[in-house]
A and B are shown apart, each in its own frame.
Chain A
Amino acid sequence: MAATLPPPRLLPSGDSAVTVEFSRTIDDDANQRVLALDKALAASPIEGITETVPTYRSLLVHYDPGKIGFDALGEKLLPIAIQPPPPVTKARRWRIPVAYGGEHGIDLEDVARALNTTPDDIVARHAGGDYKVAMIGFTPGWSYLSGLDKSLHMSRRQSPRLLTPAGTISIGGVQAGIQCLAAPSGWHLLGRTPVRTYQLHRNPTFLTEPGDRVTFFAIDHKAFEELDRAAEAGEIIAEQVLA
């Protein structure tokens, strides 16, 4: 239960930011509290806070030291941070199409071999998962998902790839991810989605928010091409379900 977690630590991150750390490990209760604090600050802003960045286990709070000092901010943050998070009543849910394997998921067969099973089984386990967007980071729209099936936990690649394609759907360690832009990655590439979690001139620019739920479904490579064209034209092709 979230209430059993120790009180958060306030870690100075230079003179203009503070990390409110709820846990040192990936922990869904801690993440729930991160998102709850983030939401509470959005609903009742504290003068001087300029930007917040939720992560798996901490909330990075950027602020203007010309408006509020470290100690005064901490005194305002802590009482909100120790509140037990309200139960999640509704979250947006996205159904994300994925073309698994082949050129789109070049590690699928290796992952299946490493886990002593078939590519189809890996796809079933990955697409059968119920994920939460725990954080977004690294590059625009890269959604870090919690909820990866335990049987799919495996260490990252020995040597990261210098460039993996936009739309890559991958797993690494205990995490799953939706990568929007081409980027270096040490994760295992299972497939590719035509969905853009970030698209500059689209409204909204960013599709996913921390706290959103995500499920995947398999599409064939022909459907990928069609959806990819629609997405390129600015259509939001992910299906949104209000849970």
Chain B
Amino acid sequence: MSRLVVAGIGPASSVQDGGRHGAQRYGLTVSGAMDRLSLAAANALVGNEPFAAAVEIGPFGAAFTARDGAVRVAISGAPRNADVAGNPVAMDTSLTLKDGETLTLGFARGGAFTYLAIEGAIKGEAVFGSLAVNARAGLGSPYPRPLQAGDEFSVDAASGAGELRIELPKPPSGPIRVVLGPQDDEFDDANKALFLDSEWKISATSDRMGYRLEGPAIKHLHGHNIVSDGTVNGSIQVPGNGAPIALMMDRGTSGGYPKIATVITADVGRLAQTSAGTAFRFRAVGMAEAQDEARKFAQLIRNLPDRLRSADSVALNIEALSDANVAGYAVSAVDAGTWQVTAEP
């Protein structure tokens, strides 16, 4: 066995996988990766199952050091500057860290979440089939909380397989697609139109539980209280102040505000990767289109291994990598105390 040691990590980073299914009826949240496609891509690069447990790295930087042998990893998701000992590393590629080498990731440049998959996957004790961290319920493995510097994973020694890159389709850039309902009849046509025609921004106070949306206030037809009913990933509820909240992976399993619309499965990850402050719109689609997109999205994930190529077959595009600063170790502009690089204990 090798070890992968968290040499430094910002807040909002945790172990995530495909989520915890089967106990929502008991109030147990699904959790799991905010961007399932990027999780699956990172896993494909190191030969794991699509929804194997990996590190979900929040918007801030992170660094990982291999110990007791080589460790093979891959990164996908929100783009970042990444390097090993000053040598740039591309997104959507696998790489093998030799014993003692450190992979350093800068801040997300657009997007929010980057996934670090480890060959053989993160090992731990599954609850309802999942290692996903749900900090509120004290669930997740091997650490039932956000990751901290000094945490480490016992991992398979690198297999020595050739390094791979993955060619992902360009993500759609249009509006985030929704299906209206289940409580769109709690809003009149003018307010539904206001929701669909307005520009929205994600508030900086958003987290894995919900994304608060900044824009015009949406008014209810009969007040904002409904008798609590079930929620899904991507439910967009409108509380009393009229500011919609898109429920994300750590959502409560039930809620008592009317839900005007639901983000389609294929676009939940795109919404998750929309940076705070970036303007976007919603577009309503019919059920047939939404389900067709859901099936295509599932197929895309299933067929990710077909998109793998040898990393040697293209030269690394160093210019593209260096067109933004390679930040390396950096200090959070939000809270300097939250970002610390410590030596391995």
Contact = CB atoms under 8 A, between A and B. Distances in A.
B295 A55 contact: no
Interface stretch (B6-14, B91-99, B225-233): B225-233
A118 interface: no
B262 A69 contact: no
Contacts of B252: 137-139
B26 A136 contact: yes
Interface residues of B, number: 45
Contacts of A142: 27
A58 B287 CA distance: 20
A86 interface: no
Contacts of A200: 127, 138-139
B230 A19 contact: yes
A142 to B, nearest CB: 5
A12 B262 contact: yes
Given A11-B182, A181-B137, A66 B229 contact: no
A200 B264 CA distance: 32
Contacts of B203: none
B298 interface: yes
Contacts of A52: 25
B32 to A, nearest CB: 14
B27 A141 contact: yes
A147 to B, nearest CB: 16
Given A51-B25, A136-B25, A206-B23, A13 B137 contact: no
A19 B294 contact: no
Contacts of A141: 26-27
B170 interface: no
A28 to B, nearest CB: 13
Among A11, A56, A210: residue with most chain B CB under 10 A: A11
B116 to A, nearest CB: 27
A238 to B, nearest CB: 16
A131 interface: no
Interface in A1-59: 11-17, 19, 21, 24-26, 50-58
Given A137-B254, A138-B253, A206-B23, A13 B232 contact: yes
Contacts of B300: none
Contacts of B290: 14-15
B223 interface: no
A70 interface: yes
Interface residues of A, number: 44
Contacts of A102: none
Interface in B241-298: 252-254, 259, 262-265, 287-288, 290-291, 293-295, 298
Nearest to B253: A137
Contacts of B22: 51
Contacts of A65: 265, 291, 294-295
A99 interface: no
A70 B291 contact: yes
A140 B232 contact: no
A202 interface: no
Among A26, A69, A71, A139: residue with most chain B CB under 10 A: A139
A216 interface: no
Contact of B264 (A15, A19, A26): A15
B21 A51 contact: yes
Given A13-B181, A15-B264, A55 B21 contact: no
Contacts of B229: 19, 21, 55-58, 60
B230 A53 contact: yes
A13 B182 contact: yes
Contacts of A187: none
Contacts of A16: 232, 265, 294
Among B137, B259, B264: residue with most chain A CB under 10 A: B137
A197 B294 CA distance: 36
Contact of A135 (B29, B137, B180, B228): B228
B28 interface: yes
B104 interface: no
User: Which 9 A-B residue pairings sit nearest by Cβ, starting from the closest?
Assistant: A60-B230, A137-B254, A14-B262, A11-B182, A15-B290, A65-B291, A53-B230, A206-B26, A12-B181
Interface of A: 11-17, 19, 21, 24-26, 50-58, 60, 62, 65-66, 69-71, 135-142, 144, 181, 183, 198, 200, 205-206, 210
17 contacts: A12-B262, A14-B262, A15-B290, A15-B291, A16-B265, A19-B229, A24-B226, A51-B21, A52-B25, A54-B25, A58-B230, A60-B232, A66-B298, A70-B291, A137-B253, A139-B136, A144-B228
Given A60-B24, A70-B291, A200-B139, 19 more contacts: A11-B183, A13-B181, A13-B235, A14-B263, A17-B230, A53-B24, A55-B227, A56-B227, A56-B228, A58-B230, A62-B24, A62-B232, A136-B26, A137-B228, A138-B254, A139-B29, A140-B29, A144-B228, A205-B23
